[in-house]
Structure 1
Amino acid sequence: MKNTSVYKALFCCIAGCVFFMPIFAQERGKVEVIKDPRIDTLIAKRFSFKDNAAASAPFSSNGYRVQLYSGSDRKAAYSAQAKFQEKYPEIHTYITYIQPNFKVRAGNFRTRLGAEKMTQQLKGLFFGLFIIPEKIDPTKADQSND
């Protein structure tokens, strides 16, 4: 009989803890956050940079460029760029390097017709000209040949 009374007492203790514990655990506490005030300043600057960058970031659109040079010689690529810039200083040029080749491309043409006109003008100066469909910056689009 002693065993059953021990079990009953143990059961009552466990049951009491299970049923009455949530009452004590439901108390609301107070959390105090201590932080450096410069964190708020940094967060505010981050949002202002993001807003300014979105407003001033140029968008891109589909267009065309004329490829003047493609090869592994770096000096020849820069020479082709300089040769083009000497004759057409108002038109933007772009050099890209995709291993193992340098590529020199010119223009931000909105239409293929503008790029074809430029290709016709450059036939005597450069060999192996190609018209490349590419993302361009429309704010720098070449108006004279479109």
Structure 2
Amino acid sequence: MKSTSFKTLSISGALLLFGLVGHTQEGHVKVKQDPEISNLLKLKKEINANEPDGDRYKISIFSGSRSSAENAQNGYNNVFSAWPSIMEYEPPNYKVYVGNFRNTLERDRALRDIKKKFPNAFSFKY
């Protein structure tokens, strides 16, 4: 009886071990990507690396009367807190500017988000 139990246990263990080893999965991921994406990323890095340290970028979200500019600035400040806003008077209009971005990558990311609330927003170098 001992030998039958031992054989049964041995065969069951071997089958279990074989089943675990035989059914392991090995995955391979192949990313299909347009080669131009890599080229664009390299180009963007080169552009950002070549920008002088003194160059800064701002985003303009409004230009018009003082009361409308205050409303636009308050509306901006209620939605966004990551980038500071400032209102300046440039005759004949009050203008609301946002941020002080070091490079175009930062500026572009902020502009994308800001345009959702202020569709006429645009960026400029100062």
TM range (shorter): 0.5 to 0.7
State yes or no: 1:79 paired with 2:53.
no
Partner Cα distance (1:129, 1:82) in 2? 15
State yes or no: 1:61 paired with 2:51.
no
1:92 corresponds to which letter in structure 2? P
State yes or no: 1:128 paired with 2:113.
no
Q: 1:122, CA displacement in angstroms?
A: 1.6
Answer with 1 or 2: which has the greater Rg: 1
1:91 to 83, 87, 91: 83
Structure 1, unpaired ranges of 5+: 1-59, 135-146
Q: 1:89, CA displacement in angstroms?
A: 2.3
Cα RMSD after superposing both structures: 1.6
TM-score with structure 1 setting the length? 0.47
Partner Cα distance (1:110, 1:65) in 2? 9
What are the within-5 Å matches in structure 2 for residues 95-110 of structure 1? 95-110=87-102
Q: 2:109 matched to which residue of 1?
A: 117
Q: 1:127, CA displacement in angstroms?
A: 2.7
Q: What is the percentage of aligned positions where both structures have the same residue?
A: 27
| Secondary structure of residue in 2 paired with 1:83 | helix
TM-score with structure 2 setting the length? 0.54
Please list every run of at least 4 consecutive aligned residues from structure 1 whose deviation after the TM superposition is greater than 6 angstroms.
none
Q: 2:24 matched to which residue of 1?
A: none
Cα offsets for 1:127-146 (capped at 9, x unmatched): 31110112xxxxxxxxxxxx
Partner Cα distance (1:97, 1:132) in 2? 17
Q: 1:32 matched to which residue of 2?
A: none
| Secondary structure of residue in 2 paired with 1:124 | helix
Structure 2, unpaired ranges of 5+: 1-52
The total of aligned residue pairs comes to 74
